[in-house]
Amino acid sequence: MRKMGFREFLFIVPILLLIGIFSLWPVLQSFTYSFFDFQLNDRTKSGLYLNERFNVDLYKETSLYVDRFISQDMETITDEEDKARAQEVIDQLNNLDEEFDKEEGVITISSEQKEQIEAAYENADATVQTLGDKYELQQEENLPLLVEDIKNSMIESNFIGLQGYKRALQDHFVLDALRHTLVFTFASVALELVLGLGMAMIMNQGIRGKGFIRTTSLIPWAIPTAVAALMWSYLYDGSAGVVAEIFSNIGLLDEPTDLMQTGAGAMTAAILADVWKTTPYMAILLLAGLQNIPGSLYEASSIDGANRIQDFFRITLPLLKPSILVALLFRTLDAFRIFDLIYVLTGGGPGGSTETLSVYSYKVMFGQTNFGYGSVVVMIMFVCVAIISTIYVKFLGTNIMDRN
């Protein structure tokens, strides 16, 4: 086989760039975020800071109000020594304002500047406490909080290393979400494999109108997942849903409302909705594999006296292994990363009983704006998907890249 040369390599450069930009770069970004306590709702952690930083904007705003409030209380301060200390605080803050006059945003500072800021904070804090004990200040409640913001202007490094992963492995919310994800994934994929294989074998038969049957069988797969989830939510509705009423009438539920208001019922409902939508996709993938099996093999086995069951286990399944591997890989990856169906159908409820890793990471990242911890959950998903894929390939013993 001829080795790839430089000219041949140039042909695959565009696809490598696309993979790098749209696949590898987001993964690397999430991997980077996972090492930081990155929270947008906390201005001291709203960036990736390996070293200490200084929030100039916050300091200037704080310094302005501290200067104004202390100046308003100068007439109230009768002791000359206290008045001198108050003026010293104002002068220190003004000197720092002048030093950072041309700066804005979050910047790096030297050790000397850090000492100046800390000295200004300590002096302001001690002075405000003393004045508050002796005099009735106009902003007696707000002034100490403003002085505290001088300290908050110093942003410590939010690099936490592997602490986020350690926290996640001890977080019962993450462990519960992982358990729910595994239950949903393996239950739905197992049912889809069995039902999809049955559908594929039926569609592989030489029956009249098989083209129409194959086309119409893909309708559930063609429906957008969010739309399908809304449709099933109406069918599962405890007050008017047809499916919930049927389950109640045949004894599977005590009351129709139990379907979506209990953990087991909601998970079962989500699995059934996913099986309905994605079984046709599984069937089409397996049908492609069935059509690659030569009919002469079945003719030879019938001459030897083999029955249908023997044909299935000794010809169909062994030769269908590559197609089964591809179908299982695709469906397992999709099911493990399930988000839209669960989010629209149950929202992760009731009581978090259907909350998967994708739903939980979404809530952490966009509900709590904690992108650091959310990225940790995403990376755990990435590792789990890699492990599952490896197990599938090893277990089925099929090299899908093999051309022979």
Average pLDDT over residues 326-347: 90
Q: Are 246 and 235 in contact (CB under 8 A)?
A: no
Q: Which region among 63-77, 154-168, 201-215, 285-299 has the lowest average model confidence (pLDDT)?
A: 201-215
- State residue 163's pLDDT score: 93
Topology of the domain covering 170-396: MetI-like fold (1.10.3720)
pLDDT tier at 140, thresholds 50, 70, 90: confident
CA trace torsion 263, 266, 269, 275 (10° rounding): -70
Q: Any idea how long the chain is?
A: 404
- State residue 399's pLDDT score: 52
- State residue 194's pLDDT score: 93
Q: Mutual orientation of helices 263-290 and 172-203 as an angle, nearest 10°? A: 40
Residues 345 and 265: their CA atoms lie apart, in Å, by 12
Structural tokens at position 30: 């999430």
Query: Domain extents for the chain?
Result: 53-155, 170-396
- State residue 303's pLDDT score: 81
pLDDT tier at 193, thresholds 50, 70, 90: very high
Q: Which region among 54-68, 179-193, 237-251, 257-271 has the lowest average model confidence (pLDDT)?
A: 237-251
Structural tokens at position 17: 């760039």
Average pLDDT over residues 137-144: 80
Q: Are 196 and 327 in contact (CB under 8 A)?
A: yes
Average pLDDT over residues 374-390: 90
More confident of the two residues 342 and 26? 342
Is the predicted pLDDT of residue 158 greater than 60, yes or no?
Answer: yes
Residue 223: C-alpha distances to residues 184, 219, 227 (Å): 20, 6, 7
- State residue 138's pLDDT score: 78
- State residue 204's pLDDT score: 82
Q: Are 337 and 384 in contact (CB under 8 A)?
A: no
pLDDT tier at 4, thresholds 50, 70, 90: low
pLDDT one-digit tens code per residue, 106-132: 888 888 888 888 888 898 888 888 888
Residues 94 and 75: their CA atoms lie apart, in Å, by 20
Q: What is the mean pLDDT of the chain?
A: 85
Residues 68 and 71: their CA atoms lie apart, in Å, by 5
Q: Are 315 and 298 in contact (CB under 8 A)?
A: yes
- State residue 397's pLDDT score: 57
pLDDT tier at 86, thresholds 50, 70, 90: confident
CA nearest to 269, candidates 197, 329, 336, 347: 347
Residues 371 and 71: their CA atoms lie apart, in Å, by 41
